[in-house]
Structure 1
Amino acid sequence: MTRFNTRATRPAVHSPVTTTGEQTRTHEGGAGHLRDARSELFLLAVSNFVGQDAFYEKAGDRDDRYTQLVRKLAIEDPEWTAGLLGWLRGEGNMRTAALVGAAEFTAERLLHEAPGYSRQVINSVLQRADEPGEMLGYWTSKYGRTLPKPVKRGIADAVQRLYNERALLKYDTESKGYRFGDVLNLVHASPDPAKPWQGDLFQYSLDRRHKRGTVPNPDSLPTLARNLAFPEFFEQDPAIILNAEEIKRAGLTWEAALSMAGSKVDKAKLWEELIPSMGVMALARNLRNFDEAGVSDAVAAQICARFAGPEQVAKSRMFPFRWWAAYKHAPSLRWAHALEQALNHSLANVPRLKGTTLILVDRSPSMFPGYGFSTPNSSDITLAEQAAVFGAALALRAEKPTLVEFGGGSKKLDVTKGGSVLKHIEAFGQIDGTDIPAAVKAHWFAHDRIIIVTDEQTRPGWLPSNMWGHGGMRETAIDDLVPKATPVYMWNMAGYKPGAMPSGKSGRHTFGGLTDHAFRLVPLLESGRDATWPWMAKTA
């Protein structure tokens, strides 16, 4: 009789987030599992909005845990950590966590006099022209005004790459502690030889910072020269600000144009001139303003066409939940279909899973307010809503889904094939308590896989012990309920230290983050291939 060579045999596969075998307790007292340092740092990094409280963890404690992990791995595994930080600011789209991580990585390597990596890591996380100043603000506030060479050189590399006329107009403002000129003074960046205008830009940035009254050279810096003269043109003829080409020539941001215009021009007409040059994220965050100003349906259709374009959505790098936020706070339904399309584009990596899939979405109190953070439209887009975005998308794309919301209890939700992700998100509620094992026990009936979107902080899963042949109650876990042959994927939304199950092998895998990218690992693992860290996958 054959035991191993059966149709059900599958190759053993491994995923990168790995538990150590050491046990602990979750924040709600359930059986918990500790992860290795790399796994703990990864899950925390992809969910950590620096300086903000989580439900179970104060901001200071959370940030300390993050910096300690970065500093530990900066010495023990600098290549891996450098890869994480570069990816975190890029595809991971986590700005502040990447910047803080790069600074702490560098500080620890300087402390140990360890050569290499630091300059490159600093440069890799600075991807927007205001970020060299942000890095200086963080470094000097924590370590003083003395700048080590790797910090100076990494920032100088980024300055060469990022500083241009429009960047100066957008980011070099009086509100900043470190202006462009301050950054140049401190890091001594040289102009890029391939950018002949950059020398004049750097000099003008210094003159502007020290209020020397220098006029930018109109031959090398035409946008800055036009911008400086534009207020005079506007005073002579306010209608000039209703000319989209003139706005573009002067490099006016939409914020600057609205401020300058005040009540002197029709607000709807001004928005209609600004809209063609606005980025997709700026459009999404201003839908309420467009409606209140009375922007025409024809111009609204232009906005919707951009939301419906997959390339535009990808370029915006907006988290999927930001599209939900835009829909949630837009007064008019004229945006709804386009926002649905944009949300679906931002979830392009959510797989169309074959067979039966149990999808459990955490709606417990720890997923709700008490853990809010700023979005383009609101400060109340909770973990629960983010989890609902992923859960609804998975359910609508799965062949045979069972969609369940759970807390201490649980409830099955209807899934309408071909339906709207946005409408399915609206169907979720809130349930007191958190009991992952009980939700698995109540709804798993030999599904091909289980996907749990949660912060993992489960209560002890007390279930009747007659399941094991004797009376009373016994604390149970996922592995007691689900055979190893059935894969369980835990989508970690909060980055807490204790996990709710082992992970890394034997059909138990944990992912994390606020984008859809890690969903690519599910079909990879189910095809019998090992998964690796996302920044390594592209070179594997």
Structure 2
Amino acid sequence: MSRFNRSRAAPVSAITAVRGGVTHAGGPGSARDVKSELFVLAVSNMVGEQTFYETSDDRDSRFRTLVGEVAITDPGWLTRMIGWLRNDAGMRSASVVAAAEAVMSRLCASLDGGNRQLIDAALRRADEPGELLAYWTGRYGRGIPKPVKRGVGDAVRRLYDERSLAKYDSGTFRFGDVLELTHPKPASAVQGDLFGHAIDRRHGRDEQLPDSLKVVRARAGLLALPVAERRALFSRPDAVERLRDAGMTWESVAGWLQGPLDARVWEALIPSMGYFALLRNLRNFDQAGVSDEVAERVAERLVSGAEGSRVLPMRYLSAYRAVSSDRWALPLSRALDASLARVPSLSGRTLILVDRSGSMFYSQSARSQLTYADTAAVFGTALALRAKRADLVEFGSTHRRIEVRRGDSVLKTVERFRNLGGTETAAAVRAHYRKHDRVVIVTDEQAWPGHSGGNPAEVVRGNVPVYTWNLVGYRHGHGPSGAANRHTFAGLSDQGFAMIPLLERGRDAPWPF
């Protein structure tokens, strides 16, 4: 009998759940282990935002408790997760909260080592050191422990430059406040001048500007112009360069002009605007009357920069719904397709079920009109369009197929989905599963009880993979996961998309960090 050359066991995945408990809707549930529950919650936790089944206080409390537990047992894993959460998943507030709560948990347990790194892992934009200090002092008071100061200081050395000072020096903890609290050593002489200027500026004694700070000096020159003369700048041939050299964002120009941004102003700003700034201002461009020639250049940038932008797919749907002109429909559709380039092109036959129950129609943030149902529809449609053969189904209390053909627009297809009431997941699988090679369910996993309830994977043969994509992060899922061809993923990231083909090649799918 062969000892080594044997058939390999079925691959395993990171998010583990076993039978036990019930869903919020009362159906049979499966409980995740601590790391799995934390990960699924973290990638969907907007902090301070309620969901259909959880209040914001309950959700945030559960998040802090889970972070505290893992901070004690495996700080290395948690540090990697926080870095991934900030960089790849784009969850800014959740990263800040996780880092702060992890360090507090470890300090309360008298654990040294690694605390500084936890803080640094969460901070990737120049306003975030101040955000973390504001969170810490708001929750734990003005006393700031050394690991927090040092972790913030490490981030400051990476993040503070002239342009970030121009854009982000605001809030309760301004750059000068952060510097005076953490005392980081500057990485260069120019950064040393910047640190000194930021502190002087905070205390109103910044009359003398260091010669080394070119952006600061250029900005001061523009700010010194009388208000009545400022709009004339946009008639000059060097307007684009002067704005760029002074680090003037569209937000700062709006305040500087003390009036509306007309087409001429926008056309001077657009060349130096970042990708996300372009995306969120398409409607403003139309309302100001930006020329077709400039609009074409914006459209080209939206498409060419989509794959590397780290903009979440939902941003394109939000922009699409916000604009009134048709000139953005095609570039937004192409940009969305490019942003989803890592969605796998699945072979064989795939059944894709998109949850359109009432609990999914909850806004992901109070500042957004987009819902979890929107996210599910975008991802399910993209997966269907890229698969070799796919049956796309929306489900709730009832269920129905959504016809898609290769070449269809994701954005336009999404508008055909509806609100279908309850969460009869197992009934939808039973009705549409026809010996497919795999089943993908995009859902919040809060399945109903009853004759059609229960684990939706039970109606699928054990040798057929069932992949659940969790979008909301509740405690209990709708079925076991982690092994035996039953796997759960969370977070719309490149690493997450790569999990399906990895598992189907017989390889384990570890954490994406």
Counterpart for residue 303 of structure 2? 308
Offset of residue 476 of structure 1: 4.3
Contact 2:355–2:373, Cα closer than 8 Å, also in 1: yes
Contact 1:127–1:162, Cα closer than 8 Å, also in 2: yes
SS for the counterpart of 2:216 is helix
Counterpart selection for 2:340 from 341, 344, 347? 347
Which has the higher mean CA deviation after the structures are superposed, 44-53 or 246-255? 246-255
User: What is the distance in 1 between the residues matched to 2:107 and 2:8?
Assistant: 47
Offset of residue 249 of structure 1: 1.7
Offset of residue 230 of structure 1: 0.9
Counterpart for residue 102 of structure 2? 105
Contact 2:49–2:366, Cα closer than 8 Å, also in 1: no
Amino acid of the structure 2 residue aligned with 1:95? R
Counterpart for residue 490 of structure 2? 512
Structure 1 residues 493, 332: closer, same or farther in 2, change over 3 A?
same
Contact 2:307–2:341, Cα closer than 8 Å, also in 1: no
Offset of residue 10 of structure 1: 7.5
Counterpart for residue 252 of structure 1? 248
User: What is the distance in 2 between the residues matched to 1:424 and 1:237?
Assistant: 46
Structure 1 residues 82, 213: closer, same or farther in 2, change over 3 A?
closer
Query: How many pairs were matched up?
Result: 505
Counterpart for residue 227 of structure 1? 219
Counterpart for residue 184 of structure 2? 189
User: What is the distance in 2 between the residues matched to 1:349 and 1:489?
Assistant: 17
Which has the higher mean CA deviation after the structures are superposed, 236-245 or 180-189? 236-245
Counterpart for residue 155 of structure 1? 152
Contact 2:439–2:467, Cα closer than 8 Å, also in 1: yes
Which has the higher mean CA deviation after the structures are superposed, 78-87 or 279-288? 78-87
Amino acid of the structure 2 residue aligned with 1:532? P
Task: Show the 5 A alignment for 1:84-103.
Answer: 84-103=81-100
Offset of residue 167 of structure 1: 0.6
Counterpart selection for 1:13 from 11, 14, 20? 11
Counterpart for residue 270 of structure 2? 275
Counterpart for residue 471 of structure 1? none
Residue 394 (str. 1) matches residue 383 (str. 2)? yes
Which has the higher mean CA deviation after the structures are superposed, 504-513 or 220-229? 220-229
Identical residues among aligned pairs (%):
49
Task: Show the 5 A alignment for 1:331-480.
Answer: 331-369=324-362, 371-373=363-365, 379-463=368-452, 476-480=454-458
CA deviation vs aligned residue, 1:4-42 (integer Å, no higher than 9, x gap)? x99xx88511000001x3411111111100010000000
Counterpart for residue 46 of structure 2? 49
Residue 491 (str. 1) matches residue 469 (str. 2)? yes
SS for the counterpart of 2:451 is strand
Amino acid of the structure 1 residue aligned with 2:85? L
Counterpart for residue 74 of structure 2? 77
User: What is the distance in 2 between the residues matched to 1:238 and 1:457?
Assistant: 55
Amino acid of the structure 2 residue aligned with 1:409? T
Offset of residue 461 of structure 1: 4.7
Contact 2:46–2:364, Cα closer than 8 Å, also in 1: no
Offset of residue 250 of structure 1: 1.6
User: What is the distance in 2 between the residues matched to 1:339 and 1:480?
Assistant: 39
User: What is the distance in 2 between the residues matched to 1:334 and 1:479?
Assistant: 43
Counterpart selection for 1:261 from 253, 257, 270? 257
SS for the counterpart of 1:216 is coil
Contact 1:365–1:431, Cα closer than 8 Å, also in 2: yes
Amino acid of the structure 2 residue aligned with 1:296? S
User: What is the distance in 2 between the residues matched to 1:237 and 1:104?
Assistant: 46
Q: How large is the RMSD of aligned CA atoms in angstroms?
A: 1.7
Amino acid of the structure 2 residue aligned with 1:75? I
Offset of residue 160 of structure 1: 0.8
Amino acid of the structure 2 residue aligned with 1:154? G
Residue 35 (str. 1) matches residue 5 (str. 2)? no
User: What is the distance in 2 between the residues matched to 1:189 and 1:32?
Assistant: 49
User: What is the distance in 2 between the residues matched to 1:261 and 1:81?
Assistant: 46
User: What is the distance in 1 between the residues matched to 2:256 and 2:156?
Assistant: 29
Amino acid of the structure 2 residue aligned with 1:45? A
CA deviation vs aligned residue, 1:395-440 (integer Å, no higher than 9, x gap)? 1011110000000110111012211111111111110111110000
Amino acid of the structure 2 residue aligned with 1:435? E
Counterpart selection for 1:324 from 301, 314, 317? 317
User: What is the distance in 2 between the residues matched to 1:492 and 1:533?
Assistant: 15
User: What is the distance in 2 between the residues matched to 1:330 and 1:10?
Assistant: 52
User: What is the distance in 1 between the residues matched to 2:105 and 2:334?
Assistant: 45
User: What is the distance in 2 between the residues matched to 1:241 and 1:41?
Assistant: 50
Contact 1:74–1:81, Cα closer than 8 Å, also in 2: yes
For structure 1, the 5+ residue unaligned runs are 464-474, 536-540
Offset of residue 216 of structure 1: 1.4
Larger RCO, structures 1/2 (Cα 8 Å, 6+ apart): 2
Counterpart for residue 501 of structure 2? 523
Offset of residue 113 of structure 1: 1.3
Counterpart for residue 468 of structure 1? none
